Each structure stands twice: as structure tokens, then as C-alpha cells.
Amino acid sequence: MAFDISQSAEIVQTMEEYIAFVRPEPDIRPQLDIGYELKGNSVFLFEIRPVWDNPQEIRRYPYAKTTFIKGKNIWKIYWMRANLKWYPYNPRPEVKTLKAFLKIVEEDAYGCFKG
């Protein structure tokens, strides 16, 4: 189930503030940028960068995902492993807020999200 309008507006505002905080300087962004996407009841964080052997082609590489579970009012946290599958972030698999998810991703205490 997708987010309702008020939830979407709050999520977009939180994510825009976070992205503004973590984005690289403007002169680096053609080589590495950070973005997000809302899809269904999930929020994805990804790197935006040129393909190494074809710099004209730009791709998104997701590295963190959170999914809102409405019935429990929690956000589940996932990280992408080398096999390109999402796995629960077992040190802290769920949080109460989107901001708590972003804090965990930013700290990256176990090197799961940004390596």
C-alpha cells in the first residue's frame, strides 16, 4: 500500500532535508550524487554515478531501503548485499521514525550501507 498524501509530504520533506545534508559539492555531482525514491510503502537511497566503462550512461545504485509497516507503525531497515538482494539490517532491523532510519544509515556503524 502506498503512502497517503500527508505521509508523502512529510516523507518528501524529511528526505529532501537529508539529501541536501549528504549530497557532495556541486562540482563532484556529475561523478557521484545521492538521491532517493519513494516506491509503494518503501523509501530507497541510492548513488547516482556514470557507468565505469561508459561514462555517458548514468545509473542508480541503491544501498539502503526502509519499508513502512502500517499495522505496527514501524520502519523496517534493509541493506543490499553483493548479490544485489535486500537483507534486514540485523543490528537494528526496525525503527519508529524515518529520521531514525536516516541516522542509522549515516552512522553506518557496520559498513553495510556505504561500505
The sign of the CA dihedral 84, 88, 90, 95 is: positive
Confidence at residue 112, expressed as pLDDT on a 0 to 100 scale: 95
- Listed in sequence order, the residues at least 6 apart from 55 whose beta carbon sits closer than 8 Å to its beta carbon are none
**Domains in the chain: boundaries:** 5-107
The sign of the CA dihedral 105, 106, 108, 111 is: positive
Low-confidence ranges of the chain (pLDDT < 70): 1
What is the distance between the alpha carbons of residues 83 and 56, in angstroms, rounded to a whole number?
A: 25
Record the pTM: 0.93
List pLDDT tens digits, range 71-89: 999 999 999 999 999 999 9
HSE (CB half, 13 Å, CA atoms) of 77?
21
